[in-house]
Amino acid sequence: MAKQAVILSGGFGTRLSHVVSDVPKPMAPIKNKPFLEYIITQLQNQGFDSFIFLTGYKSEIIENHFKNLPNAQFIKEETALGTGGAILNAFEFLNDDFYVINGDTFFDIDFSILENFGNNKPCTIALRYTDNISRYGFVEIDKDFEISSFTEKGNLPDNRIDGYINGGIYYIKKSILKKFVDKFTGQFISLETEIFPELLKNKELFGLPLGGYFIDIGIPDDYYKAQESIPEWINKKAKPALFIDKDGTLIVNTEYPHGKNFEIIKSTIDIVKKYSEKNYHIIMVTNQAGIAKNKFNFEEMNEGFEGIKEFYRSKGVIFDDIEFCPYHKDGIIKEYAYDSLLRKPNPGMILRACEKLKINLKNSIMIGDNSEIDNIKLPYLKCEVLVSA
């Protein structure tokens, strides 16, 4: 099926004005190529073949650069319409289902995962995990991935440190916009603050946590960072990962194991070696509530990690990453006494690994020993619980 990308590309780039002032924000240069060109390449590599550029400020720069792009349309807003108004202005050109992409945000997701999840839902937002919601606010989802609320960054609760944020990618059924077209065409309306709340009220809005490198070039510090990070990321090849639990899977689960006093579970060795030989990323993911509960410190925890890595290195296996959660809501160390999306079965550790390593999540697997903890809350990640003999 044809994939249509509707790209919001009319931004002024106010915060970037002292850095890049002569082009629309999505055309800001990254290593001598417009930022938007990286997004188009990313989309084409995933099967997109139809593009609608919603332009505004200096639209001719975008039109001239992409005029030879097959199946490209350029729809300029003559007056500011907002993100929602710009999409409604293009209504007659939209496919029955389409994707909206923020033209100043790079979020390297697997669009087939988003489509498989959202193909029977009115609107699905790609969510990104962040350990710093103070900068963004956050999005709450229920067990069925229906969005239950949006919390702005000025109204954050004291008991939250991390959460899901809007990743700037939306999979939308055209039919749900009809009521807005009839009422708001030609008017300024925000997708985020006016259309989404209405969909939320009607239980038509879903959010799917996804992993991949994320950067917003609208912030000068991140724009400078993107000069190296985006070209480097684009050149990486994605490969699947073995996410594997520590206590009870890699080592015998004594009470709060730490340091070098551990016992390797022999039956797991061949499993890890098998995935390593298949060229999977090997990533340990482990809840470490002992930090929050003051059972051991970071040095002792890391000593245990190094001991496990050293053992597996002797077997020809290299761990590409270790993700851990030091938080627990019943902790006695105040700075770690939080409920966190890092803590399994929440997927924070999985998604955080995906920002460091280019991971093919659809073909990855999580292996652990506890059916309640190691069945990760991601509908597209295969999870397997080992049964003790």
Catalytic machinery residues: 245, 247
| Cα 389 to Cα 387: distance, rounded to the nearest angstrom | 6
Give the integer Cα–Cα distance in Å for 151 and 140: 8
User: Which residue do the tokens 């039956």 mark?
Assistant: 267
* Cα–Cα distance, 344 to 245 (Å, whole number): 10
Residue 345 preceded by cis peptide, ω within 30? yes
Antiparallel, parallel or unpaired: β 105-107 and 214-216:
antiparallel
**DSSP string across 129-198:** EES-GGGT-EEEE-TT-BEEEEE-GGG--TT-S-EEEEEEEEEEEGGGGHHHHHHHTTS---IIIIIHHH
H helices of the chain, where? 35-45, 59-66, 82-89, 111-118, 178-184, 196-201, 220-234, 266-277, 289-292, 298-314, 348-356
Dist. CA 13–CA 11, nearest whole Å: 6
Annotate 290-322 with DSSP letters as a single string.
Answer: HHHTTSS-HHHHHHHHHHHHHHHHHTT---SEE
- The whole-angstrom separation of Cα 33 and Cα 227 is 10
